[in-house]
Chain A
Amino acid sequence: MNTWFTEIVRDANERLFSPAELDRIMAYYSSMPARLKAAEEIEVIDADFNRNLLVEMRKKFPNRELYSKRVILDLLDGLRVLAQALLMDEPQFLRDRWIFHLIRVIEESGIDPDHVRDVYVEMGNVLNHRLSASSRELMGPLLQELIESTSLVPSY
């Protein structure tokens, strides 16, 4: 896929980057240390999710059969795509690589969308609680879009 960054690079074929293009890239570069820090924080939480999230979800919803190790691993794949989109400053990357796929899987599999939504909401709650304020601010719109995407499939 083409991110805004690769589009700028591609469009500058046979000419120097324009001042406006450089301004956009420089603004992104100045945010890079904060993006790297946020991705590192997410990585730490990812490891904890891998250990604890399944237990938490089963405790909260003992009668739901959806929550399995496989579902948690799938969710963590989504979290890694989110971290990559955050590093790229590219929400479209999250949509193309995860959200469209997630919506389709929920639609096709017959899983109750509320059950999927709840595990994403739980992940969001933990992230919002544990991330630093600057990381939360950077990740907020992506996380919100990811969680809201699970509501795009009508509940049973």
Chain B
Amino acid sequence: MISSCLHKIDNRYLKAKERSDLLAYVATARARRTALEEVRKKTGAAIDSMMGEIRKLYPQFMQYRPHGFDKGHRDMVLLTSMTANAMFLGETDTIDEQFTFWYRSILKAVHLTPQFLTDTFELWAAALKRQLSLDTYEMLEPFVQHMIEKLTDIPAPAKDEVGERRLA
């Protein structure tokens, strides 16, 4: 928010709307930091929980990718951190440039199906909602939804490499 606003002005002063947007944003900074600190404490439990569910849903996945769940766990922690940083900054441009587009390429390259990705990210959102306080999740949710939208917008691979989807 701050960075994108202050870098785009060039040889001019801020407009009234830009000033009021900046003031409104900095007024929420303390709450954003509190939310980020809660994410710091609870990310591990949330990701452990959602990875347990995705393992059950795709029991054959390890046949295709023996280290897939371990790498997936690492990536979901990373994704949660970047999403929380975006929430703190109050904007998604930076995270998209720095992380989202790169990570979408990775997801595309490893031939995960759109259904697998949708399941993964929905379980991720649900686990965060369970683990975090209502205030924190409400603050984080728009950024979680942004990431889900960007990271599930991937074409179906020619070959399925996730195995059977087994509903309980």
Contact = CB atoms under 8 A, between A and B. Distances in A.
Interface of A: 3, 5-6, 9-10, 12-17, 22, 25-26, 29-30, 32-33, 36, 39-40, 42-43, 46, 77, 80-81, 83-84, 87-88
Interface stretch (B76-84, B120-128, B140-148, B150-158): B76-84
Contacts of B7: 6
Contacts of B19: 36, 40
Interface of B: 2-3, 6-7, 9, 11-14, 19, 22-23, 26, 29-30, 33, 36, 39-40, 78, 81-82, 84-85, 88-89, 94, 98-99
A3 B5 CA distance: 13
A29 B99 contact: no
Contacts of A10: 98
Nearest to A10: B98
Contacts of A15: 78, 81
A22 B85 contact: no
Contact of A83 (B13, B33, B36, B84): B13
Contacts of B9: 84
Given A25-B29, A40-B13, A87-B14, 4 more contacts: A9-B85, A22-B88, A32-B2, A36-B22
Given A39-B14, A43-B13, A46-B13, A22 B36 contact: yes
A14 B2 CA distance: 21
A39 B13 contact: yes
B26 A16 contact: no
Nearest to B98: A13
A13 B3 CA distance: 16
A3 B131 CA distance: 35
Contacts of A14: 78, 81-82, 99
